[in-house]
Amino acid sequence: MKKAQKKRFTLIEVVIVIVILVTLASIATPMYMNYVSKANIGAAKSQVQLLADAVQGYRTDNNSYPSEDSGLDALVENVEDLESWNGPYIEGSLPKDPWGNDYLYRLDEDGRFEIICLGADGEEGGEGESADISNRD
């Protein structure tokens, strides 16, 4: 009787499989990162719009926008002790942007407000994923 032989992989076959896997990973990783980047930008735009709508609700009740000193905190609690405050204008706490940074709130000299997400780099300016996102865009 012949002894059953075990079939084994050669070193060449193992190397070929590894090369194929690395090639597939090098193609898939940039596609995945691009998808994540677009998803973060979309989430930031949605949150900026949500915050802008809440600021408009605040203005409807109080006849003015929150002061820069109170900022977006005025949407969650009555930090200015207003009798007409009818909040909270957003539930829970203030959201962070998709990169973990706070949203900025500014009033200009014309009395218009702006909510800004600083993007992936957390600094003003930039392009692509690092570009600022504003309710004025």
Q: Taking the domains of the chain in order of start, what are their residue ranges?
A: 43-134
Q: Please give the Cα distance from 103 to 105 (Å, whole number).
A: 7
CB of 129 within 8 A of CB of 39? no
Estimate the share of the chain in helix, then strand, then coil, as percent rounded to the nearest 5: 45, 10, 50
Task: Label residue 1 by pLDDT band (50, 70, 90).
Answer: low
> C-alpha 14: how far from its chain's center?
41
* Mean pLDDT in residue range 98-124: 90
* E-assigned strand segments in the chain: 104-107, 113-117, 133-134
- What's the pTM value of the predicted model, to 2 decimals? 0.76
Fold classified for 43-134:
Glycoprotein, Type 4 Pilin (3.30.700)
Span 12-53, pLDDT tens digits: 989 999 999 999 988 888 888 888 888 999 999 999 999 999
